[in-house]
Amino acid sequence: MNFPSTIRSVFLIIIFYLATSLSLKAQSGNKRKQSKNLVNTYLDSAWNNYVAHLPFDHFVISADSIAKSEGLPELFSTIYGYKGLYFSSIGNTDSSIYYQLQAIKIFESVDSLAPKLVNAYYNLADTYERAELDNKALFYARKSLEQAKIMGNSVDVRYCYTLIASILTSMANHIKDDLKNYSLRSEAIKESRKALRGSNYDSLLSFEFNALLSLSDNYREIYALPRDGENYTISHYLDSAEKYNNIAYSHTPDSMVHLKNVALAQKSFILQERGEFDEALELLNQAGKVLMMNSDLSNVQRFYKAKEDLYLEMGIMDSAFYYQKLHYNISDSIADLETRKYTNQLETQYETAKKEKRIQALETQSKLQKAKNQLSLTVAIAIGVILIIVIYFLIQNRKKSKRLAEQNKIIQQSHKEIEDLIRESHHRIKNNLQVVSSLLKMQSKNAKSEETKANLLEAFNRVKTIAVLHQKLQGSQTFKQIQMQEFVSQLTEAIQGSVMSSNQDIQLSTDVDPILLSTDQSISIGLIINEVLTNSFKYAFAEKKGSIILQLKEEETDNIILKIYDDGKGLPEDFDISQNPSLGYKIINSMTVKLKGKLDISGINGTCTSIHFKKTPIA
């Protein structure tokens, strides 16, 4: 073997390899710059969509993917901040806080990024406040204030004082100790005053309006606080509340209708404290016209509560009761929206995980394509070098395959966790409904009139029906269908136990086919069974003795019949369900319409209620 020739060949191969590597490095530098520009473009698009209240998560995910694949750690802090905004916008507070803290860690570790800490601390404090984590909110609000002072930005400093006042007010709203309440509100007043230093009130900024309203609200609340068994009667507290509210109202442009009506509502509360109820009601109605049209459900809820409290103060009980009912109804709607929001949040997390998985797969394909391109550029390199490169990529591919397998396992675990969370939500809903039903039953025992007691017991059974359904959903595998044999058995036992008195001897028997119905149809059937059985137990048996038979059968494919009959005294000859004013029959009619079924009621030789309907397919 000619060693000098071999050495020369190896040397030439090394030279060629180094030249190729330098060329690839130059190309990599250009590509890095292009990738950085692309990431910034994605982030700009994300911000524009966020400001316009449009979806922007796909821009953030794309920017994050490129930054990670191309190794651009200098952009991670900004990406984390946008992720925090995204998760906050969909109500996922935990994830929002996590990514905001990740961004803050980077800002704190890099001196050149320190100016961004003012907004980062402020946004995190705001997120904690909306999550009612007031102590953490106050901690980061004060850190934001400290950083704003270091940066010498007076406007940011005043924004921070306003936020601190808001958090202190929130803490006071959640505390029952009157002395601590007074102390917190006094501190909030001091912070609001600091926020207003230098204001000329000619053209109010948003934080100035909020600071003025905070001053007015806290002065009014201090005025109403009890002290040694007496009310604060020092008039200057209420005078101060009115003074700052008037400034906020008079210096807010007419174009900002919503803010002016918030100030009007606050003025109404002040007049209520003064005992000027008619003027307070007039202002509250004026403010309510705009608030009802432009505000979210929580503001509508607060408006109804304000009307209820005002009418109570005026002694107009019918109107107070009317707005109390509206307040409760809107509270139920908000609770339902929160449940839907929670479910949508789980679905969004699952879909986001799927998107990230697809992006990771594309990244893997992209890297494999790069490997192929590099192999084509090094064809002329010695066989030994080629073999080393091939072995290297085989090892890398094995590592990537292992990582993909681990990621698949993580996604499967995440899917199971989501199912567990949905199951837990049904469990919590069931528990909450059971608490409501228990409260209704306790209230019925304290009711003075028999009619009120009966109405409360009926409401108890209706809530109990839905609670039983959620209990079945908790144990379901799909959360979309209910096994009717078990559901009806459990439901009838609950109804019989709560409605049948000890001096009644009424036999209840059931005959239910093993039918699976959708959740919506199960709710309708459950409510119908509750109403019919309740009527039978209460009114059908003059002698306190008899029998009731309940059947739920599938006559033909997807054709279901529900039949409940008793051997009681039956119905009057002129009975017409469409003319019956009772809530129970209205519920039966409504649920039958929802089932798209046919209702028949016969009152001869007892009462027979039958409903024919078609089973809806379960997706």
CATH number at residue 535: 3.30.565.10
What's the confidence (pLDDT) of residue 87?
A: 81
Question: Strand runs (DSSP E) across 230-324, as ranges?
Answer: 230-231
Please state, in angstroms and rounded to a whole number, the distance separating the CA atoms of residues 77 and 106.
Answer: 6
In three-state secondary structure terms, 200 is coil
Question: In percent, how much of the chain has pLDDT > 90?
Answer: 16
In this structure, of 8-12, 543-547, 570-574, the range with the lowest mean pLDDT score is 8-12
C-alpha 531/C-alpha 93 separation (Å) is: 41
- Do the domain assignments include residue 389? no
Instruction: Give the DSSP letter of residue 514.
Output: -
Q: Is the pLDDT of residue 425 over 70?
A: no
Higher pLDDT, 599 or 295: 599
Contact 220, 244 (CB under 8 A): no
Region 431-450: mean pLDDT is 61
The span from the CA of 617 to the CA of 596, in Å, is: 14
Which range has the worst mean pLDDT, 4-13, 182-191, 468-477? 4-13
Per-residue confidence band for 1, with pLDDT thresholds at 50, 70 and 90 = very low
Identify the pLDDT of residue 74: 64
Asked if pLDDT for residue 525 goes beyond 60, the answer is: yes
CB 99 within 8 A of CB 84: yes
Q: Are 204 and 252 in contact (CB under 8 A)?
A: yes
Q: Regarding beta strands 545-556 and 598-602, do their DSSP bridges make them parallel or antiparallel, or are they unpaired? A: unpaired
Per-residue confidence at 528, pLDDT binned at 50, 70, 90? very high
One-letter amino acid for residue 569 of the chain: K
What are the backbone angles phi and psi of residue 613, rounded to the nearest 5°? -150, 165
| Statement: residue 257 has pLDDT above 70 | yes
Q: Has residue 346 been placed in a domain?
A: no
Q: How far apart are CA 500 and CA 487, in angstroms?
A: 20
| Closest alpha carbon to 409 in 353, 363, 359, 367 | 353
Domain membership of residue 357 (yes or no) is no
- Nearest alpha carbon to residue 174 among 129, 139, 209, 125: 129
Residue 455 vs residues 369, 394, 444, 459, 514: alpha-carbon distances, Å = 72, 75, 8, 6, 33
Mean pLDDT across the chain: 77
Rg (CA), the chain: 34
- Residue whose C-alpha is closest to residue 475's, from 540, 426, 525: 426
Q: Which of 490, 508, 492, 498 is nearest to 567 (CA)?
A: 508
Q: Report the pLDDT averaged over residues 385-401.
A: 77
Q: What's the count of helices (H) and strands (E) in the chain, helices before strands? A: 19, 9
* Paired strand residues for 565: 549, 608
Q: Which residues contact 223 (CB under 8 A, 6 or more apart)?
A: 232, 234, 237, 238, 241, 273
Q: Which residue has the higher pLDDT, 376 or 18?
A: 376
Confidence of residue 519 (pLDDT cuts 50, 70, 90): confident
- Where residue 614 falls among pLDDT bands split at 50, 70, 90? very high
**Residue 226 pLDDT more than 70?**
yes
End-to-end CA distance of the chain, in Å? 75
Note the pLDDT tens digit of each residue in 39-78.
778 878 877 777 666 777 777 787 777 777 766 666 777 7
Q: What value does the mean pLDDT take over residues 23-31?
A: 55
Q: Which residue has the higher pLDDT, 288 or 130?
A: 130
3-class SS of residue 187: helix
- Residues in the chain, overall count: 619
Q: In whole angstroms, give the CA distance from residue 51 to residue 62.
A: 19
In the three-class reduction of DSSP (H, G, I as helix; E, B as strand; rest coil), residue 570 is classed as: coil
> 389 and 371 in contact (C-beta within 8 Å)?
no
Taking the CA atoms of 129, 132, 136 and 138 in sequence, report the sign of the dihedral they define.
positive
Is it the case that residue 232 has pLDDT exceeding 50?
no
Mean pLDDT computed over 423-428? 53
**pLDDT score for 583:** 79
Q: Please, how many CA atoms are within 13 Å of residue 216, restricted to the half-sphere of its CB? A: 25
Beta bridge partners of 599: 611
Note the pLDDT of residue 523.
87
**522, exposed or middle or buried, with CB in 10 Å at 0-12, 13-18, 19+?**
buried
- Hey, what are 19's tokens? 């030249």
| Domain annotation covers residue 536 | yes
Q: What is the mean pLDDT of residues 363-384?
A: 67
pLDDT value of position 3? 45
What is residue 499's predicted lDDT score, i.e. its pLDDT?
A: 79
Look at residue 575 and tell me whether its pLDDT is greater than 70: yes
Residue 40 lies in a domain: no
Q: Has residue 85 got a pLDDT over 70? A: yes
152-191 tens-digit pLDDT: 888 899 999 999 999 999 999 888 888 898 899 999 999 9
Contact 350, 414 (CB under 8 A): yes
CA 553 to chain centre: 39
Measured between alpha carbons, how far is 104 from 81 in angstroms, rounded to an integer?
9
CA distance 532 to 462: 12
Residue 187 near residue 166, CB atoms below 8 Å:
no
Q: List the beta bridge partners of residue 614.
A: 559
> Residue 609 pairs with which residues in a beta bridge?
564, 601
Average pLDDT over residues 274-292: 77
Residue 340 predicted with pLDDT over 80:
no
Q: 3-class DSSP state for residue 559?
A: strand
Confidence at 259, pLDDT banded by 50, 70, 90: confident
Residue 220: its pLDDT value, please? 86
* pLDDT exceeds 60 at position 342: no
Domain assignment present for 367: no
| Reported confidence tier of residue 332, pLDDT bands at 50, 70, 90 | low
Residues 585-609 have a mean pLDDT of 89
Query: How many separate domains does the chain show?
Result: 1
Assess whether pLDDT exceeds 70 at residue 11: no
Distance of CA 102 to the CA centre of its chain: 23
Question: Is 276 a residue whose pLDDT tops 80?
Answer: yes
Domain hosting residue 521, numbered range: 482-498+507-614
- φ/ψ of 201, rounded to 5, equals 65, 10
Please tell me the distance from the alpha carbon of residue 522 to that of residue 469, in angstroms, as a whole number. Answer: 8
- The pLDDT confidence band at residue 231, using thresholds 50, 70 and 90, is very low
Considering the domain boundaries, does residue 244 fall inside one?
no
pLDDT at 215 over 50: yes
> For residue 245, what pLDDT band results from cuts at 50, 70 and 90?
confident
Query: What's residue 121's pLDDT?
Result: 92
| Dihedral class, residue 172 (left if φ above 0, else alpha if ψ from -120 to 50, else beta) | alpha
pLDDT recorded at residue 414:
62
Class of residue 251 by CB neighbours under 10 A (exposed 0-12, middle 13-18, buried 19+): middle
* Residue 551, in any domain of the structure: yes
